[in-house]
Chain A
Amino acid sequence: AQTVTQSQPEMSVQEAETVTLSCTYDTSESDYYLFWYKQPPSRQMILVIRQEAYKQQNATENRFSVNFQKAAKSFSLKISDSQLGDAAMYFCAYRNPNDMRFGAGTRLTVKP
């Protein structure tokens, strides 16, 4: 069975600095999708960024980018120029046609 591991339960970053959240996954599939979702306190989960496994180019969305290492099965999220509004739980997720899995989450604190 596929698993998704987020090894950092908590992270903190100074406002305007850069932080990287780690995610590794285990799969025998070649075709799948990877996601980072953000869940602010008491608010709905929303997508941060999405990566298709067949694409070698790392996805980017404004201040958010990923480092996708397919062979290593690693999918880290980099947040640049961190803002107070980035404080949230971040979940890494994996999807193939028959399965959907989330990591346990990383709680990010942003210090002013």
Chain B
Amino acid sequence: DVKVTQSSRYLVKRTGEKVFLECVQDMDHENMFWYRQDPGLGLRLIYFSYDVKMKEKGDIPEGYSVSREKKERFSLILESASTNQTSMYLCASSLSQGETQYFGPGTRLLVL
């Protein structure tokens, strides 16, 4: 079974802090994704990556950056956390572009 893990289930940070969210998948998937999930808005794509060191902006990249130094690991970085970045963050991976995405358990981030 594919396993996608995220570094934290719950996180509380202060405004202005730099925040790192890590995601690791164990199935050698090419594609990895970061979403945020908010009630009534569904999932919105922040960034995705087709390969190591490659990244593409999604719908809402502002205030975020990503890093993919190794194939299995995709990190989301909030350069200076703000209260409007309080959300559930979901990581996912897929073998190729048309294949099923496998999701991590999510990180619920609260920015005070």
Partner-B contacts on A (CB < 8 A): 4, 6, 9, 33, 35, 37, 43-47, 50, 52, 91, 93, 95-98, 100-105
15 contacts between A and B (CB under 8 A): A6-B42, A9-B40, A44-B105, A44-B106, A45-B103, A46-B103, A50-B100, A93-B101, A100-B33, A100-B58, A100-B101, A102-B42, A102-B43, A102-B44, A104-B41
Q: Please name all residues of chain A whose beta carbon is closer than 8 Å to the beta carbon of B105 when the two chains form the complex.
A: 43-44
Are the CB atoms of A103 and B104 closer together than 8 Å? no
- Contacting residue for A33 out of B35, B40, B48, B98, CB 8 A: B98
Partner-A contacts on B (CB < 8 A): 33, 35, 40-45, 48, 56, 58-59, 90, 92, 97-98, 100-101, 103-106
Which residue of chain A is the closest to B33 with respect to CB atoms?
A100
Chain A: minimal CB distance from B77 (Å):
20
Which residue of chain B is the closest to A4 with respect to CB atoms?
B42
